[in-house]
Amino acid sequence: MKRIGVLTSGGDAPGMNAAIRAVVRTAIDRGVEVFGVRQGYQGLIDGLFTPMGARDVGGIIQRGGTILGSARSLEFKTPEGQRKALRALNQAGVEGLVVIGGNGSQTGANALHQLGFPVVGVASTIDNDLFGSDITIGVDTALNIALEAIDRLKITASSHQRAFLLEVMGRDCGYLALMSAIAGGAEAVVIPEVETEPEHVADVIREAYEKGKAHAIVVVAEGAKYNAAKLDAYFTEHQDRLGFALRTAILGHIQRGGNPGAFDRILASRLGAGAVESLLEGQYGVLNGWVRSELTRTPLETVVASKKPLDLTLFKLAQILD
């Protein structure tokens, strides 16, 4: 294998650039050319290939986002779009592909694998919902951003004797909400994996008020049945029962931005380098992930067909420590 490609797809995650850098420099060290594919799978279809050398990835390890860009591609989800992508790869002389991204990205990688093209995935999503990796690129940085938000809100909440609902990202996975709630000492957490009624949240806030606390913080996952907007609407009608005045803050895409922390830079470097080694060793159709502090390779077929469970013992811990 003398020429490989690398693309980033789906939502950006802090550390993607570190993974790109590792792919490029590891490949060059092994005497392999690298082409960056711009704008994800749509760029693959459109043939947006750019040769990348060691200097092209200099100074990017500390940058958030992805220098290759990312875009959703409905066309790639069709058999015709996938065949166009395969044709573009073959026309460019690309013999293998590294796909950096989450569930949707790895579903696309598996589609190319099923067509017989050598492809290897790299686990990258702030949601941490990808099967085949205990933790994915971007999670640690996003978690620390959420934690900083909790710490800041506590100061304002205590100053004004208020309760806050803080909504964090994560799609249908409550990992970020749960971990930030534990680390931030929140009074309650609402996640998709455990259905929580508004009345229970009201009880927690009211109990904090009656105990004489200066504030109450509730961390809410965006994918929960009762997200921050629905809880806020419910409590608007029952404000007097809470004790505290209530405010809502939605962290949103702020969690995606910013420079990756040390853990994400190192994880991305190891997974990116490992992906190149997988291609050169003939280990195709796998996801490079991090399981029990070791680099692992999980078949993409298994990754896209499996749901990653959340450790609910941690939810019990959050309730004990509130």
Return binding residues: 11, 21-25, 72-73, 102-105, 125-127, 154, 162, 169-171, 185-187, 211, 213-215, 222, 247, 253-256
The binding site for ADP consists of: 21-25, 154, 185-187, 211, 213-215
Question: Which of 180, 143, 166, 182 is CA-nearest to residue 319?
Answer: 182
Instruction: Please give the structure tokens belonging to residue 167.
Output: 């909504």
Catalytic residue among 12, 127, 232, 322: 127
Question: Which of 28, 41, 34, 27 is CA-nearest to residue 88?
Answer: 41
Instruction: Please give the structure tokens belonging to residue 49.
Output: 């290939």
Phi, psi at 73, each rounded to 5°: -135, 105
The binding site for substrate consists of: 125-127, 162, 169-171, 222, 247, 253-256
Instruction: Please give the structure tokens belonging to residue 83.
Output: 């065949």
- Backbone φ/ψ region at 102: left (φ over 0), alpha (ψ -120 to 50), beta: beta
Number of other CB atoms surrounding residue 320 within 10 Å: 8
The binding site for Mg(2+) consists of: 103
Question: At which residue do the structure tokens 């590891």 appear?
Answer: 26
Reply yes or no on whether 127 is catalytic: yes
Phi, psi at 98, each rounded to 5°: -105, 125
Pinpoint the alpha helices (H) of the chain: 16-29, 40-46, 79-91, 103-114, 139-160, 175-184, 198-210, 228-236, 262-280, 300-305, 313-321
Number of other CB atoms surrounding residue 42 within 10 Å: 22
45 Cβ neighbours under 8 A, 6+ residues apart:
73, 75, 76, 81, 84, 85, 88
- Residues catalogued as catalytic: 127
